[in-house]
Chains A and B, each alone.
Chain A
């Protein structure tokens, strides 16, 4: 009981911090995308591909969150993009305060698009607003088409679902149509992009969406 109450008050004050961070990022014209998925679904590989494809037209930075390692930040830095590694010290998610500290440390001058590569799992990151402008989740083909049934909150919360490793479709019993149906049942507004970061299949559509999202974000907010 106690644990649950604590958790609630933490998420409430987190929501306020997140809203504030999002407003500030909007004023600076930086679109922050919260990238969430299971461990090993291909977050870093997808981001590497996007940096290679869009790195010349958009100024991209990456905030790498991990429990304890820095393999990912090293991979991103090798591509020449600005990146920083944040350690959560065992916690399974990033919250708005941790995200703000990470961004401040990294610096956002001359940035159009920033990715937060969240901790790898489908549960805790879904519960915490980080202040990002968009939430993007990844599901890889080997994880199975039944995941929306088991982790509904993550699918409900996300603006975009990227289905990765579609080059492996022939090897797995994965029904893309059934997945789309299950996801739309939970979240009719979500955009779904099936891609393979390895072969490049489907990347164009996803990257077109990214360009448009960055452009829209830079238009001063109405009201």
Chain B
């Protein structure tokens, strides 16, 4: 029984990779820079997203897709900022795949009646396991780990750290309280993924946020020029 499940999963993933690659090419052509944002529940995906929108909205037209198992809490929060947002429900599934994402993008474009945007951010389902396995067609994968989760997480969720281009270390202002060893964390990440960019920051205090904004702005500009 276990073997069957794995075979099905592999077939699903191979199909998914084709759909994702096509999606990536389409968005690049349109000059839309697409980010897949992943992290555990409560790591601060929505908080970082809000800060990022506030900081970059004057330079870029930003749109958001909120993926959740079953609620609309995050989409409501984001919609208060007045940027285009759509809520996607996975009906219990713990990840977004390329096809679901494509349908989301289509629905978002329809909702906004074709109004163009420069940066599109998918806030993926909150967990460090399944979203790592599915390419959704994003230009870059960004993951958030928050300090209270612990500096040992790259050891336990290696794939997520392997596939992420950027690691945002949120709630860095609580480092002392949680005995989070930043150097050890960096080493653990590097072991999995030497290329990953690491930004320690706090969405609450604003500490370290500028470096992340600068990285994203530069990346998006490169994407938009294409």
Contact = CB atoms under 8 A, between A and B. Distances in A.
A38 interface: yes
A140 interface: yes
Contacts of B155: 69, 71
A171 B73 CA distance: 23
Contacts, number: 124
Contact of A121 (B70, B127, B148): B127
A149 interface: yes
B42 A38 contact: yes
Nearest to A152: B70
Interface residues of A, number: 41
Instruction: Count chain A CB atoms within 10 A of each CB in B94, B148, B150, B171 and give the residue with the most.
Output: B148
Contacts of B73: 146, 149-150
A72 B153 CA distance: 11
B177 A168 contact: yes
Contact of A153 (B1, B92, B146, B150): B92
A123 B42 contact: no
Contacts of A149: 71, 73
A10 B177 CA distance: 43
A67 interface: yes
B70 A69 contact: no
Instruction: Count chain A CB atoms within 10 A of each CB in B6, B42, B129, B133 and give the residue with the most.
Output: B42
A143 interface: yes
B71 to A, nearest CB: 5
Given A67-B129, A67-B156, A71-B155, A168 B148 contact: yes
Contact of A123 (B92, B150, B152, B157): B92
Interface in B190-204: none
A97 interface: yes
A149 B149 CA distance: 21
A41 B127 CA distance: 12
A142 B148 contact: yes
A38 B41 contact: yes
Nearest to B145: A40
B27 interface: no
A49 interface: no
A93 B129 CA distance: 10
Instruction: Count chain B CB atoms within 10 A of each CB in A120, A142, A152, A165 and give the residue with the most.
Output: A142
Interface in A135-160: 140-144, 146-147, 149-153
A3 interface: yes
23 contacts: A6-B8, A10-B5, A38-B126, A39-B128, A39-B157, A40-B40, A67-B156, A68-B159, A90-B129, A92-B130, A121-B94, A121-B126, A123-B125, A124-B129, A140-B42, A140-B148, A142-B149, A143-B40, A147-B42, A150-B69, A150-B73, A153-B92, A168-B174
